């Protein structure tokens, strides 16, 4: 019997680590969501449980890092700030541009109507505070998905890692069904499908910058600036065409960031 080549052993080790990470993150999330899912606590308590759920990818990643210790925390989780500011601006700008295009098309075609200006102005005041709050909440997710995972599984390549992590991200989000209301089956499918394009964009920002912070702040922008432009500015309703436009533009932005003409990508900082 011959020993496996080092490359095969390393690939198996990475796959094992990633599988354990996915398993721990999902099980922790599902376990903590039990009171929320089975209505064991008042609805108001869900606002306290949700931030705890967002920490589970980071907890899973820290467990894997403590077990393996392949490099320092800073290197493994890409917590360096050098060059991150530029990519934070790019990420937030992409989010704002895509949402603005979606809203502009919906308003121009009569799909949506503009909200009263005083209502828009009142919502505008909260954009930056909500962005900061949502970015803080996003740390727990991004340190896992685009921090540890993006470093450990870098050898998989961009698109395979983006797709696999995006699909697992959707599974991890399943407890959200307990709090998003009584959606029809098709509405649930669209809701979860809408998450998948964000994984390539956030991973592209992480790899191009070599830092997890652009993914953190851009994730915060998805839950603040994007929501403002799509829900506070227009009187919006669910519309598949507008959703699909957002998906296509998000995937296009990720592909543009990772275009081959950009020779070097930094996986960690």
Bridge partners (DSSP) of residue 100 are: none
d(CA 141, CA 145): 6
Decide the pairing of beta strands 234-235 and 113-114: antiparallel
Going by pLDDT thresholds of 50, 70 and 90, the confidence category of residue 266 is low
In this structure, of 69-83, 94-108, 178-192, 239-253, the range with the lowest mean pLDDT score is 178-192
Instruction: Read off the pLDDT of each residue in 126-154 and give the average, rounded to a whole number.
Output: 98
Residue 4 has pLDDT above 70, yes or no: no
Residue 81 has pLDDT above 70, yes or no: yes
Q: What percentage of the chain has pLDDT greater than the value 70?
A: 95
Average pLDDT, the chain: 93
Please enumerate, as own/partner, the contacts of 119-123 that have beta carbons within 8 Å and a separation of 24 or more: 119/232, 120/232, 120/233, 123/228, 123/232, 123/233
Bridge partners (DSSP) of residue 234 are: 114
Phi, psi of 229, deg, nearest 5: -70, -30
Q: Which two tokens stand for residue 87?
A: 């990519």
How many other β-carbons are positioned within 10 Å of the β-carbon of residue 41?
13
pLDDT confidence of residue 157: 96
pLDDT confidence of residue 269: 41
Backbone CA torsion sign across 220, 223, 224, 230: positive
**H/E stretch holding 114:** strand 113-114
Instruction: Read off the pLDDT of each residue in 63-89 and give the average, rounded to a whole number.
Output: 95
Going by pLDDT thresholds of 50, 70 and 90, the confidence category of residue 256 is very high
Residue 204 has pLDDT above 80, yes or no: yes
pTM above 0.85, yes or no: yes
Scored b (16 or more CB within 10 A) or e, 104-128 reads eebbeeebbeebeeeeeeebeeebe
User: How large is the C-alpha radius of gyration of the chain?
Assistant: 19
**H/E stretch holding 76:** helix 73-77
d(CA 221, CA 177): 22
Q: Report helix, strand or coil for 81.
A: coil
Bridge partners (DSSP) of residue 235 are: 113
Instruction: Read off the pLDDT of each residue in 183-196 and give the average, rounded to a whole number.
Output: 90
Which residues neighbour 156 within 8 Å (Cβ) at sequence distance 6 or greater?
Answer: 14, 164
């Amino acid at each position: 019997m011959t020993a496996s080549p080092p490359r095969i052993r390393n690939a198996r080790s990475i796959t094992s680590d990633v599988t354990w990470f996915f398993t721990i993150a999902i099980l922790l999330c599902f376990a903590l969501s039990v009171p929320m899912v089975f209505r064991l606590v008042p609805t108001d308590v869900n606002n306290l449980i949700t931030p705890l759920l967002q920490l589970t990818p980071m907890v899973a990643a820290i467990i894997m890092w403590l077990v393996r210790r392949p490099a320092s925390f800073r290197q493994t989780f890409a917590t360096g700030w050098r060059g991150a500011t530029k990519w934070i601006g790019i990420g937030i700008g992409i989010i704002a541009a895509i949402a603005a295009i979606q809203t502009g098309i919906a308003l121009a075609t009569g799909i949506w109507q503009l909200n009263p200006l005083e209502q828009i102005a009142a919502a505008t005041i909260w954009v930056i505070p909500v962005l900061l709050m949502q970015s803080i909440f996003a740390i727990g997710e991004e340190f896992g998905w685009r921090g540890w995972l993006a470093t450990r599984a870098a050898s998989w390549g961009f698109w395979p890692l983006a797709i696999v992590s995006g699909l697992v991200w959707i599974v991890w989000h399943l407890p959200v069904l307990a709090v998003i209301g009584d959606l029809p089956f098709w509405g649930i499918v669209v809701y979860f499908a809408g998450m998948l394009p964000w994984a390539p964009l956030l991973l592209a920002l992480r790899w191009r910058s070599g830092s997890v912070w652009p993914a953190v702040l851009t994730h915060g922008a998805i839950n603040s600036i994007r929501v403002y432009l799509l829900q506070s500015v227009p009187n919006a309703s669910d519309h598949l065409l507008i959703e699909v436009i957002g998906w296509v533009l998000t995937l296009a932005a990720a592909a543009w960031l990772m275009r081959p003409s950009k020779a070097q990508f930094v996986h960690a900082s």
